[in-house]
Every structure is written in structure tokens, then in C-alpha cells.
Structure 1
Amino acid sequence: MNRYTNLLVAIDPDHEEQPALSRALDIARKSSAGVKLTLFLAIYDFSYEMTSMLSAEERQAMRSGVLRQREEWVASLVTAQDTQGVEVIPHVVWHNRPYESMIAQVFDSNHDLLVKATHEHDKLGSVIFTPTDWHLLRKCPCPVLLVKEHGWPENGKILTAVNVSSENETHIPLNDKLIDESNAMSKLLNAEVNLVNAYPATPVNVTIELPEFDPASYTDAVRGHHLLEMKALRQKHGIDEAQTYCQEGLPEDVIPAVAKQLDAELVILGTTGRVGLSAIFIGNTAEHTIDQLNCDVLAIKPDGYVSPLAPNLS
């Protein structure tokens, strides 16, 4: 059964080409179940709020006119695609924070996947202005599929990033969830599931401060531990040893390197935020990794994740 049947597709207002829409239609066509796509566009023009010469009613009328124009444009995107057999609903809203409006829509309509095109962010700009993609990774309650230009060929490769370190027990159920998602996508795409895990290198300061420290033995012990844990994980899920990669280095370096080696069409990784009301942070591994990948990324939250933008139902 397809996990994703109610997709929210983020429309890029600045381009005619819409990779997110194309990818969402790929999913819909490959699915054995009926799939609904909501094409979502948030627009905002500050000048409409600051025009003091117009009354509130006139400003609202102008906003409504702009919304209608953009709705017509989104509808034209649909007619340019082959959407036969797929339910497609355009939805345009007036909102000055696109990521907040997207997440509100996810909650309102119980979307099970958010699909958005992405690109490499300017490094300096990323520090000053947090990209919408990163807000979605941190705060969106449903899985987020970030689409790049890489195609989805038949008999392709899916790379799933797992963490087999025993230091954090939350990684155990998340690893299982990531592999379950990978198997579901594998059936949808007719693709091979591969696992990758990165383990840390020997800290340089330890070898300097402790002359008697044997870095080779330490590295062998760490590698051995991770290999054993990876073996247990792959055997648990019936994955061949040839489809598992356990390499020394930082995840944001190892994952893109293995993805490039495999020419993977999709990388699946977890965004491990804190569970409960404090679930507003994720490690920056996902963010650093995404910019170095030239393929799609599916980001999965752990069970129990609560978005900081969840509606207050009290």
C-alpha cells in the first residue's frame, strides 16, 4: 500500500518549471492507490499593506485580485501536465511566511507528504537568512521530499542514512522507521535499498594529550562496533551486506560521497528532533548533507515528534 496519497506540493512562484509538481505526479502515477495533489502557493506583497490612500476594503479587493491571478497561473501549470487520473487542487493563500502557511495547510488537511523543489543555498545567505527548506525540515510534522534535478530511473538506488551508535536509544526506532519508509519507496520506484552509516574518526586532541593512546586500536574498536550494529540492523530487515556502507567520517561527508558512488536517486534520512513540546531542534547533519546532494532527499521525523507550529487544541 502506498504511504503517500495526500500530497502538498509547494509551487515555486518565480519559475515556470516546477520540479516538485513533476515529482509528485511521478509518485501519483506509480501509486496503486488514488493520490490527491494540492498545489500550494503562498504570496505576499508588503506594498498592499502599506497603501494608506486605500481603505481596508479596497486593499482586500486588490489582494483578492492578485490571488485570482495567481490561481489562474497555478491552474495553467496543471493543464500543461498530464494529470489524467490524478486529483489536483490549486490552493493559493496570502501569507508572508511561506513555511508557516505550508505547515498550517499540512495540519488543516492531514497531508502525509510535502513535496518542494530545492537548490544549493548560498552559504553566507544561509547563515543570515534561514531558508524555507530548513524551517520545513525542523518543523513540518509530515515527511518532506526535497526535489532536485536528478531523475528517478527504473531499477535505481535508494540510500538510507542510519545511525547505529548505541549512545542514543531514540535512533533505534527511527532506524526501523527509515528502513520501512525505504522499503515502501523501493516498491513504488522499483529501486534497490542501500544503507549508510558514518562513524567518527579518532579525535586528534586525544592522541596529542595522551601519548600512550593507541589511535589504531581505538579506530578498529569503533569500526568493529559499528559494523556489528550495522550487521544486526541489515539482518533484521533482510538487506544484503553488499547494500550496506559503514564508513569513517562525518555524516555530511560520507552520505553525499556514497550517494554519488551509487548515483542514488533518493536519499532518506531522519531529522531527530527532541520529542514532545520541545521538538524544535534537529541536528545540523541533515541541513549540511542536503546542500551536498544532487538527488532528492526524503526527511522523516521520529515517532512522537510534535511540531512547534502545531495548533493549540486546548
Structure 2
Amino acid sequence: MMDYKKILVVVDPTSDIQPALSRAVELAKGSQATITAFLSIFDLSYEMTSILSSQEREAMRLGVVNQRKAWLADLIAPFAVQGIEIEQQVLWHNRPYESIIKFTQEGNFDLIVKSTHQHDKLKAVIFTPTDWHLLRKSPVPVLLVKDKEWHHNGNILCAVNVACEDEAHLTLNSKIIEYANALARQFNANVHLVNGYPGTPVNLAIELPDFDARTYNETIRMQHEQRVNYLANEYGLPTTNCHVKEGLPEDVIPEIAEDLNVALVVLGTVGRTGLSAALIGNTAEHVIDSINCDLLAIKPDGYKSPVG
């Protein structure tokens, strides 16, 4: 169940417009959650200057941090007028994602909210390394925000995995839908489920002359539809809100998200590390570049971050 009491907003140091902060305020209004605006800064030139003593370097770092604190105070001042208190934290750290995760763990935050950049001309998303690391390693849900309003009576799309019936996947599906339902109640939105299923393996059709690809495909589709419909029934969602389509999740999810003009995609993400992470990546990482809406990434129960 989504019960966020402490929201950490990762501030974009390159912009005076902060969609993530605005989104966090919307969320907090309905949940009485507290908000902390967090900024991690680092400038290598201050570290490399060998002619300065360590005290002088420390003084320069402090000067930069204080400048940023003043800038951040100006940024959150308009919200104070609305009666919304936002704490602030500025840290000097050479790896932003590590400082974010460490601060999240130490402060027992329930949710990280961060903007993803959009390039004005092409509206293409620039997916930063920090976003990738947060999706993979954050111990709490991560909401990546784009500059698109959440309208009342809008749509929320849950990407569920019904190919595996192991306990971990079933629990993660439940968690995804529960988070979506909680947000749907708060924003008077409609929850939809999406699932991509694999097509017929080409080698089967080649190696087995009597193989009936159409029947095989139909069987797989029906199996996936039944499982998605079962999930919908379990959470009181109409089966008309179930969308099962042949294809890879990273292709199917953006397609359905666009068709429904959704405000938010909710999906689960496994915290792969090392070589498998570099080679395979997560569905979330493929999807975020192809959707024009927010993305909420949720970890399985019991996930331990490798950072901190």
C-alpha cells in the first residue's frame, strides 16, 4: 500500500523550473507528507586546485554550498506562501545518486521524486546516469517526472508481469496495482493494466514442420489475458481496462500509454547490478525514453540497495 509520509525531491541544479517539486507538493496535499528538497553538488575544479590549501578549498566549497542554499530557498519560497513547508538540504558529493540514496536511507524517506530533462526542440528525453542508478539501486519507489499535468479523471497505467507465477512476481504485481489504486483515489483517476506477451519463437516454427504457430500464439495470448483479468478482478478493476498485446514490454507499454494518454506509468524494477545490468537493463530504462508521462518505479519487497 502506498503510504508516503516523507518525500525527497531531487532538485535539478540547471533549472529554475522544477516539475518534480510541484508534483511532490500535489502528492503531499493529499497525504500530509513532509517534503525535503535535496541538492547534491560537486565541482571538480575546486578539488583539483593544488595551489590552494585544504582550508581554502573547504572555504570555497562552503561558499558554493551557501550560494546554492540561497538559490534553493528562493525556489521553495512561493510554496511557503501556500502554507506548504519544504525543508532543504544541500550536500557536496561527487556521485549524486549515492548521496541521494544514502540520504534517503538515513532519513527514512518513502518516495524519491525527480524530474527527467526534456530537450525543448525535439521534446526528446535526456535520461541521465543519475536516473538510471536511482531506478536500479533506490530502496524506495522513484517517481520520474515530466512536465505534464495530472488531470482529474486521467489514466494511470500499471505494467504487470504475468509470464512468471513465482511469489516474487505476484507480490510485485500486487504492489504496483496497490500504489496505482492509492494514487487513483487521491487524483480521481482510472487504473489500467498492460501486459506484453512474446510472439511465436521463429526457431520452433522452422524446426517443427507440424508446429501450429497460430494456435500456439492464441494459447499464449489467452493465458496472459486470463491472468491479467484475474488481477483486475482481484483489485476491483473492470476487465475493459486490461490491455494485453503481443510484443516486448518496452514496445507495448509506450504504445498503450499513448493510446490512453496516461498521466503515469507504474512498473516494477529489479535491481540488477554488474554485467547483467549493463547488458540487459530494465524495462523501466527502455520505457522512460518512449513515454510522454511520469514513471513510478517500484522495487520488490525486501530489496536491499547496494549503496549506502
TM, length-normalised to structure 2: 0.92
Q: Which residue of 1 aligns with 2:175?
A: 177
**Which residue identity is paired with 1:25?**
V
Q: Which residue of 2 aligns with 1:250?
A: 248
Q: Which residue of 1 aligns with 2:7?
A: 7
Deviations 1:118-157 (A, max 9, x none): 136999x97xxx7110100000001000001221001111
Task: Give the superposition deviation at 1:27.
Answer: 1.1
Output aligned runs, 1:127-138, within 5 Å: 131-138=129-136
**Contact kept? 2:12, 2:39, Cα under 8 Å:** yes
Q: Name structure 2 gaps, 5 residues minimum.
A: none
Deviations 1:68-123 (A, max 9, x none): 00000000101134653322011100011110000011011011000000136999
* CA–CA separation in structure 1 for the residues paired with 2:133 and 2:105: 16
* CA–CA separation in structure 2 for the residues paired with 1:14 and 1:53: 29
Output aligned runs, 1:55-134, within 5 Å: 55-81=53-79, 84-119=82-117, 131-134=129-132
**Contact kept? 2:10, 2:37, Cα under 8 Å:** yes
* CA–CA separation in structure 2 for the residues paired with 1:188 and 1:83: 23
| Pair 1:230 & 2:228 matched | yes
* CA–CA separation in structure 1 for the residues paired with 2:296 and 2:49: 42
Output aligned runs, 1:17-36, within 5 Å: 17-29=17-29, 31=30, 33-36=31-34
**Which residue identity is paired with 1:140?**
S
* CA–CA separation in structure 2 for the residues paired with 1:272 and 1:58: 44
TM, length-normalised to structure 1: 0.90
Secondary structure of residue in 2 paired with 1:58: helix
Task: Give the superposition deviation at 1:2.
Answer: 6.6
Give percent identity, aligned residues only: 52
* CA–CA separation in structure 2 for the residues paired with 1:261 and 1:202: 25
Q: Which residue of 1 aligns with 2:40?
A: 42
Are residues 120 and 211 of structure 1, via their aligned partners in 2, closer, same or farther at CA, if it must alter by over 3 Å? farther
Structure 1 counterpart of 2:197, from 196, 199, 203? 199
Secondary structure of residue in 1 paired with 2:60: helix
Are residues 265 and 303 of structure 1, via their aligned partners in 2, closer, same or farther at CA, if it must alter by over 3 Å? same
* CA–CA separation in structure 2 for the residues paired with 1:252 and 1:140: 21
**Which residue identity is paired with 1:175?**
N
Task: Give the superposition deviation at 1:211.
Answer: 2.2
Q: Name structure 1 gaps, 5 residues minimum.
A: none
Q: Which residue of 1 aligns with 2:293?
A: 295
**Which residue identity is paired with 1:24?**
A
**Which residue identity is paired with 1:215?**
A
Secondary structure of residue in 2 paired with 1:141: coil
**Which residue identity is paired with 2:103?**
Q
**Contact kept? 1:35, 1:87, Cα under 8 Å:** no
**Which residue identity is paired with 2:5?**
T
* CA–CA separation in structure 1 for the residues paired with 2:298 and 2:87: 25
* CA–CA separation in structure 2 for the residues paired with 1:165 and 1:83: 49
Are residues 38 and 294 of structure 1, via their aligned partners in 2, closer, same or farther at CA, if it must alter by over 3 Å? same
Deviations 1:42-70 (A, max 9, x none): 11111111112111111101111110000
Deviations 1:172-228 (A, max 9, x none): 111111111111111111111111111111112221222221110110110111111
| Pair 1:54 & 2:39 matched | no
Secondary structure of residue in 2 paired with 1:48: helix
**Contact kept? 2:136, 2:270, Cα under 8 Å:** no
**Which residue identity is paired with 1:201?**
G
Secondary structure of residue in 2 paired with 1:268: strand
